[in-house]
Structure 1
Amino acid sequence: MTNHISTHWIGGMAFESNNPSGIDLKIDAGPEDGGEGKGYRPKALMLTSLAGCSGLDVVGMIGKMKLDVDKFHIEIFAELTDEHPKYYHKVHLEYHFYGKALDEKKLQRAVDLSVDKYCGVMEMFRRFAEVTTENIYHKE
Structure 2
Amino acid sequence: MGNQITTKWLGNMRFESTNPSGHNLFIDAGEENGGKGEGYRPKALMLSGLAGCSGLDVAALIKKMKLDVEDFTIEIDANLTEEHPKYYDKVAMHFHFYGNKLNEKKLQRAVDLSVEKYCGVMEMFRQFAELDIQTHFHKN
* Superposition TM-score, scaled by structure 1 size: 0.98
Alignment correspondent of 2:113:
113
Alignment correspondent of 2:104:
104
Q: Distance in 2 between matches of 1:19 and 1:45?
A: 13
**1:14-73, CA deviations, whole angstroms, 9 ceiling, x for partnerless residues?**
000000011110000000000000100000000000000000000000011111100001
Report the CA distance between 1:2 and its aligned residue: 3.0
Alignment correspondent of 2:5:
5
**1:72-118, CA deviations, whole angstroms, 9 ceiling, x for partnerless residues?**
01000000011110000000110000000111110000000000000
Report the CA distance between 1:10 and its aligned residue: 0.3
Alignment correspondent of 2:20:
20
Alignment correspondent of 1:73:
73
Name the aligned partner's letter for residue 48 of structure 2.
T
Alignment correspondent of 2:57:
57
Name the aligned partner's letter for residue 51 of structure 2.
A
**Structure 2 residue 42 is the aligned partner of structure 1 residue 42:** yes
Q: Distance in 1 between matches of 2:18 and 2:40?
A: 13
Q: Distance in 2 between matches of 1:112 and 1:122?
A: 12
Q: Distance in 1 between matches of 2:62 and 2:128?
A: 29
Name the aligned partner's letter for residue 33 of structure 2.
D
How many residue pairs align between the two structures?
140
Runs of 4+, deviation exceeding 6 Å: none
